[in-house]
Structure 1
């Protein structure tokens, strides 16, 4: 009986040893796999984010300079929402995309920069969709950005879109819902409390900051294209690029909307798939890069860009000035 117990103990010890070795091997394989995928993702994402950051900063910076310096060389009745959109894209490129690139290279973000980036990201998303919605409303109602009393209301709406984004972006920071997400390449909202808290926040944030502007964009765009709008601008006006802005914005932010909808459908509060979260960030950043190219589809705006560079070239190489005349005797 004693020998049987000793044998069973030896057998159980061997079994435990094999199980522990199996667990070690499994964990080692998982670690190697995670390291492999992290190296692969870093080698792919780092060049993409670098390209998006450079194009976003240079492109939107150039557009801002042209809108300020060469505004007399192109026609733009609805300049306020377009300026707000470009400013949002420029700040997103220089702050958010840069932060994501640094997070990929350093494998994380530290507090309080983590919380600041999360707040700013939601602010820029809300301000950009709000600016496009205001642009669509102005084109439909024929309200220029200056010269009418309603233009003051449009200006207040632009400021309100920025403030609304900042408010909803600050809520997760206050309640400490922010954690670094390697898939999104920056700090994002992670839910560890109840499903009802998550549901209330997302429904409020989406209905006010996303859904209402989306309905305004969709309805005003359809009515304007159908000929029911009071748009008083000509085809040469910069606002003629609005349909292209709307289409590309909706395409680029479709993965972000899908990621949030997947989260809403999961009662266990588990996040959406990693590939979808990564795609949502990359596509949102891509939208910031595409907008400057959309501006350049306008003929007069392209001329303004050329005038800006021509004036810089002339200032660098001024025309010769006649300072004196020498008479030659023959």
Structure 2
């Protein structure tokens, strides 16, 4: 029996050593680093999205997510193109940008359902362009979000970790963090500002070799997108949350007469269906120099978008207040 235990121990150690060797070789190939960066070793696998895992860790620090009164939730269109800091400074209540790469409205609804009744949320902002219409081929699983925030014990930690763990996802996550978590002005940065946004600057901006610029997508998938918005709208109505959907602009060289017709159709449908819950910034004149590519923006573009959004929201609030005073007979 003792020999059996020794053999089991030896083979277990051998298997562990081989696994570690494979991980280190693949890590080195991805990062071109011989010495691993242990500080960026992934400790959570809530989903198979590198960016979302990193954002969850950031959101839990100092209760950034749970205490926010305004949340911006979307894909990189929200992460790069809307400033939570400016919203906080303007309206005086904490705004947090909970966006991450490829985060689509039907996934937003999955997360919101898990956190129902747990948020201080008063206003939900969903920025988008046609990239959100695309079918999700990644099949990202967000079911561990609730336990990440509210079941902070060893059992839930290991359940979340191993339910989403795979060798490929672990190596990808670790190598991405090692390459991009320290740089705040790079195409794949995972270094979020305190408010959760990632505002990129044209000066000294680093575009990774593996980064391909975003180009115009057509409106295929708009029906599914609209269905997801319906679910989010009902959620917001049920929880007394103000919902704002923001249709973002493309860089001018991405547009043709046919594409402008597609954009006009989307804007018309959403304006009819959602009225004051919809803000159409698709024609906002953002300068070409303020775009990283066809849809992602530098800081100047994000400021232009956020300022235009604030102007619209302020104008609508003033109109509502005026009508309320008018109805109550308080106008002179």
| TM-score, structure 1 normalization | 0.27
Larger radius of gyration: 1
